[in-house]
Amino acid sequence: MPASKSVFVTGATGFVGSHLTFRLLEQGHRVHALARGSKSSARERVHEVLHEVSGSDGSLGALLSRLEVMEGDISQPGLGLSDDVYGKTVSLTDEVWHCAASLSFAEDDREEIFRTNVGSTKNILQFVARTPSRRLQHVSTAYVAGNRPDVAMESDIDVGQSFKNPYEESKCRSELLVADAHRRGIARASVHRPSIVIGDSKTGRVTHFHGVYAFIRGLWSSLERIRRRSATREVIHLPLRVLGSKSGTLNFVPIDYVIDGMLHIASDDSSVGHTYHLSNPQPTPNMLWLPHICRVLGVEGIDLVESSQFAEHPITKMEMLFQKQMSFYYQYLQGEPQFDCRHALEALMGTAIRCPSVTIPFIEKMTGWYVDYLNRRQ
């Protein structure tokens, strides 16, 4: 186990941040988690999500004594903390993990997305600059590569690419801020870029439902409506054309690989000043994951098509509804860059940390877990 550190984490109620916080506590570190309150307090929210992450196996109780939750807001100057608490926390912190972000892709949310993702990175850099070690682990995304048609290298940030949405653009802008702070000696930064994070590789279990889970949920809801109307549990034939590339891929990475990989990379000081793609060396072809998700959902007839298809045969009401529900995720079905992950693989060489291939059994396990979850909750 690495020596115990005092770690400041943002985004501990979120998918990546909660799993990270749990592992940091398991490794024996002390964690100061900055979180927002809503209907319940920040503390209750973080405890609740960590309970989910731990799988209620009773392991959490003993870890909570090393956790302090602080109510704040990363988009506020001083992170929304009092001067006293801010000053004390700064002086106690050995390392900062900045996971919090807005994951909205909506153009209408552009201002909020930039305030959260770019503004908060400025605020976090000010915090980091005052810590004794100035050590920052910045969680970004492989999709800062935007619409690049080629291979995205880990050392590339802004190479003049365009972006699919304000989220990608804001994450690229915040990486530029981190790189600049690193150059000026204000922070000693490593940047971690996961691709599309999915459930645990061993169990398929997941605690938050972004990205492909929203896609599965969209399909599941449409099918449930049909099943209720027709009172059948049989396989449904649903002729639904989905705008997407048959030759495209999606780069899925299980959460356990992302967390173990980032923590191992971060623990080695040679990672200071470098960026790592926590992406899958073998992205999953659209024509592999889609048919197998459909098989688990009990539906056939769903096909990826080019936009010209809709000119030939006008869009149906069902296709329109599905497209509306899924509009942001459609962007990713059109194709993605290839992510060169050489630095990450080299950093993990000699460890047991490997990115599992997202095979047919994996897709079925992951979808099966989520469909059971949705069925239980309805």
Site residues for ligand NAP per CB under 6 A = 10-11, 13-17, 36, 73-75, 99-103, 116, 139, 141, 171, 194, 196-197, 208, 210-211
Nearer to ligand NAP, 145 or 240 (CB): 145
Task: Tell the smallest beta-carbon distance from residue 250 to ligand NAP (Å).
Answer: 11
Task: Tell the smallest beta-carbon distance from residue 14 to ligand NAP (Å).
Answer: 2
Q: State how beta strands 299-305 and 95-98 pair.
A: unpaired
Q: State how beta strands 236-243 and 249-250 pair.
A: unpaired
User: How far, in Å, CA of 203 to CA of 53, rounded?
Assistant: 13
Task: Tell the smallest beta-carbon distance from residue 120 to ligand NAP (Å).
Answer: 6
Short-list 248, 258, 22, CA closest to 139: 258
Nearer to ligand NAP, 171 or 241 (CB): 171
Nearer to ligand NAP, 14 or 244 (CB): 14
Task: Tell the smallest beta-carbon distance from residue 171 to ligand NAP (Å).
Answer: 6
Give the residues across from 151 on adjacent strands.
338
Nearer to ligand NAP, 70 or 296 (CB): 70
Nearer to ligand NAP, 16 or 67 (CB): 16
Q: Where are the beta strands (DSSP E) in the chain?
A: 6-10, 30-35, 67-71, 95-98, 135-139, 151-152, 188-194, 196-198, 236-243, 249-250, 252-254, 275-278, 284-285, 299-305, 338-339
Nearer to ligand NAP, 99 or 304 (CB): 99
State the residue number with the nearest CB to ligand NAP.
Answer: 14
Q: HSE, CB side, 13 Å, CA atoms: give it for residue 290.
A: 22
Q: Give DSSP secondary structure letters for 93-146.
A: -SEEEE--------GGGHHHHHIIIIIHHHHHHHHHHHSSS-EEEEE--GGGGT
Q: Give DSSP secondary structure letters for 142-154.
A: GGGGTT-SSEEPT
Task: Tell the smallest beta-carbon distance from residue 157 to ligand NAP (Å).
Answer: 15
CB 252 within 8 A of CB 358: yes
Task: Tell the smallest beta-carbon distance from residue 116 to ligand NAP (Å).
Answer: 5
Nearer to ligand NAP, 73 or 169 (CB): 73
Task: Tell the smallest beta-carbon distance from residue 278 to ligand NAP (Å).
Answer: 8
